[in-house]
Amino acid sequence: MEYKIILIGCGTVGQGLLEILERKAEFLRDCYQFEPKIVAITDLMKGTVVAPEGLQIQKVLGTLKEGKKLNQYPGPKQQTDDYLDPLDLIEQVEADIMAEMTYTDIKTGEPATSYIKKALRMGKHVVTSNKGPAALHYQELKELAHLNRRHFRIEGTVMSGTPVFHLFENGLAGNDLREVKGILNGTTNFILSQMELDGLEYDEALKLAQQLGYAEADPTADVEGFDAVAKVVILANALMGGQLKPADVRRQGISHLRKKDILEAREAGLRYKLIASVKKDGKKIEASVAPQKLPLTDPLAGVMGAQNALTFDTDLMGKVTIQGAGAGRTETGFSILSDLLAISRCALK
């Protein structure tokens, strides 16, 4: 089945998605009856291209690789301004699905939230990897999607392409979720791993993480726990029906930890991890992000490097732990694909 798709944002994640769609086009058609047609792309830095008959993905990627703007795409296209505002694009271009992959603003959720609302009101399904709208406005956006009989899917917002929401929607369907806890930030997990395995001080491990591209020049969002807070709020609201805001989450980062703390824990048979957790007790939902000393028998204690992991405590299956990538070009691109396929499966029923 053919789906007309518009991309809002075509940076690392958007290009990762396009590379997957190009590489797996035949496989997706033959195995899933999924035939995506990218009809428009707009990106603040890379410009806009609109092609109602569909863009040739290989040519789009080639254009971007050469450092050109999207309006220099060499195939058939509609004449537009160099850059078309996403709100105008959503209104003007006929499409079935919008994939929203712009930058995250965890304080306001904008401008992505406005794009999502517009698309849903215009009758388009929405998939996004953007934490801002999901953390700040999940229930409102889910209700708007329901009102318009459209999907609002957010697989890529918590653990990149590692299945969290799909797991609970399908494999663990029927379970009551009592608690979720885990490692939701690869930067801090890498730093803590290096402090223990290589005996580095915090500042040395942070510098290494920055050199390897795991940490930003300003690492505050990661090391002080703000990134994990956004993700745990999404889990609370999407999986437990909560109404939490980031300000409701008790938060402590890892910047105060020293090598001696890590080594003392190791001597006691324990291992430091930055743990994000959300627990439901009746109608009460509480969430926190803080370093914890875990026994080495805990599955989360064995997760090293930049990997992420989550343990679900359920009423029927007990504790179930998943581990995988929490970031990455291909991995997050796959998260968008997994949501697109979920929409396609529902349409085929």
The C-alpha angle 171, 176, 178, rounded to 5 degrees, equals 115
Active-site residue among 231, 260, 273, 293? Answer: 231
Residue with tokens 């796959």: 334
44's tokens: 């603040």
Structure tokens at 143: 């209700």
φ, ψ dihedrals at 82, nearest 5°: -55, -40
- Distance, in Å, from the CA atom of 65 to the CA atom of 59, rounded to the nearest integer, reads 10
Is-catalytic flag, 68?
Answer: no
Question: How far is residue 22's CA from residue 18's CA, in Å, rounded to a whole number?
Answer: 6
Distance between CA 73 and CA 229 in Å, rounded? Answer: 40
Instruction: List residues with catalytic annotation.
Output: 231
